[in-house]
Amino acid sequence: MSGDFQREIRFLGMTSSPAFVRQPEGNGVAERAIRTLKEQLLWVRHFATIEELRLALATFAALYNARWLRERHGHRTPDQIRAEQRALETKAATGFKLAA
């Protein structure tokens, strides 16, 4: 892994998360998301400033999470999936506290 790349992601406040050995399917999800971003936004618009790009990315992410139906999750949006996961986590945490 490139030292320059590692420094850049630390600068951006990100954490490196390499794929597991012999399990490339984890990268497939991320790569498909990047492809969608490119096809739906980056390859179809020109951005005059970094701030314009930043705002467009934030808008795209909000719309994607609220409206994009994911087949692999039963045609639900990312926001719906996260809400269900949070509810399960809350239920599990509450159940754990009651049992303790």
pLDDT in tens, the chain (100 residues): 688 988 998 898 888 877 777 776 777 877 888 899 999 999 999 999 999 999 999 999 999 999 989 888 899 999 999 999 999 998 888 876 655 5
Question: What is this structure's pTM?
Answer: 0.61
Q: What is the rounded distance in angstroms from the CA atom of residue 73 to the CA atom of residue 27?
A: 18
Q: What is the rounded distance in angstroms from the CA atom of residue 72 to the CA atom of residue 52?
A: 32
Cβ–Cβ under 8 Å, residues 79 and 65: yes
Q: What is the rounded distance in angstroms from the CA atom of residue 20 to the CA atom of residue 8?
A: 22
Cβ–Cβ under 8 Å, residues 73 and 81: yes
Residue (of 65, 61, 91, 93) closest to 80 by Cα position = 65
Q: Which residue's entry shows tokens 């998360």?
A: 17
